[in-house]
Amino acid sequence: MNPTELATQAQSMAQRALELAEQARRAAEVAAPVAAAAEPFLYLLTIFLLACFVGYHVVWNVTPALHSPLMGVTNAISSVIVVGAILAAGTAEGTVARIFGFLGVTLAAVNIFGGFMVTRRMLAMFKKKGG
């Protein structure tokens, strides 16, 4: 695949991601009054499930050529999650919140490490052998 074809595929995938995000936004607008009337837990659960749905469709529609850049972005997002989890663990007043904060730091750190290992291995495939 040449760079122009990759750029075209990336652009079409970005457009698809925007369409999915717009569908999720519309679904959230429909679900917001119902969730707002319910407990905050249900509202947050709705947002989480919509994010999982959009994330699933975006990630599984990625072509192999765009996998490494996606891994790099995922590592960047995980680093932001680590910062939030450190804040949650450090500023929480309850024991349960501190445990979940620590668990968030641990899982995001494992995710970052694994992402870098996969990216490193994929980039090694492009190196010339014996040269």
Residues in the chain: 131
Task: State whether 9 and 58 are in the same domain.
Answer: yes
Answer for the pair 21, 47: CB distance below 8 angstroms, yes or no: no
Last residue of a domain, one of 32, 62, 92: 62
Residue range 13-24: average pLDDT? 78
pLDDT value at residue 105: 85
The 10s digit of each residue's pLDDT in 38-85 is 567 777 788 888 888 887 777 777 777 776 677 777 777 777 778 877
Average pLDDT, the chain: 77
69 lies in the same domain as 116: yes
Looking at the fold, whether 2 and 46 belong to one and the same domain comes out as yes
Q: Give the residue numbers spanning the domain of 111.
A: 64-131
Say if pTM beats, i.e. exceeds, 0.85: no
Please, is 9 exposed, middle or buried when counting C-beta atoms within 10 Å of its C-beta (0-12, 13-18, 19+)?
A: middle
Whether the CA torsion 31, 33, 36, 38 is positive or negative: it is negative
CB atoms closer than 10 angstroms to residue 35: 18
Residues 52 and 88 in one domain: no
